[in-house]
């Protein structure tokens, strides 16, 4: 039972999330031979103010500060 955990900044649409889950499941099958019926994909969304990059929060960077 493989479990794939993806952490990303909030903002993806439901359709994008569904596509991501589908594609990751396909990759696990195609590359590692894992059964899609037992593959779990967990998307963890993080608010941009809680994600730091280059010494600033993503929220601050997006705001141009």
pLDDT tens string 22-40: 999 999 999 999 999 999 9
Q: What is the distance between the alpha carbons of residues 58 and 31, in angstroms, rounded to a whole number?
A: 33
Catalytic residue among 2, 36, 47, 48: 2
Helices (DSSP H) in the chain: which residue ranges?
14-32, 58-62
The residue extents of the domains of the chain are 3-62
Taking alpha carbons only, the member of 35, 46, 1, 39 closest to residue 21 is 39
State yes or no: is 47 an active-site residue.
no
pTM to 2 decimal places: 0.86
CATH class, 3-62 region: alpha beta
Q: Give DSSP secondary structure letters for 4-20.
A: EEEEEES---HHHHHHH
pLDDT at 65: 82
């Amino acid at each position: 039972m493989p479990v794939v955990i993806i952490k990303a900044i909030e903002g993806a649409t439901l359709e994008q999330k569904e596509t991501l889950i589908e594609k990751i499941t396909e990759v696990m099958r195609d590359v590692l031979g894992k059964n899609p019926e037992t593959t779990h994909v967990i998307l963890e969304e993080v608010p941009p103010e809680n994600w730091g990059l280059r010494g600033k929060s993503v929220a601050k960077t997006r705001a141009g500060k």
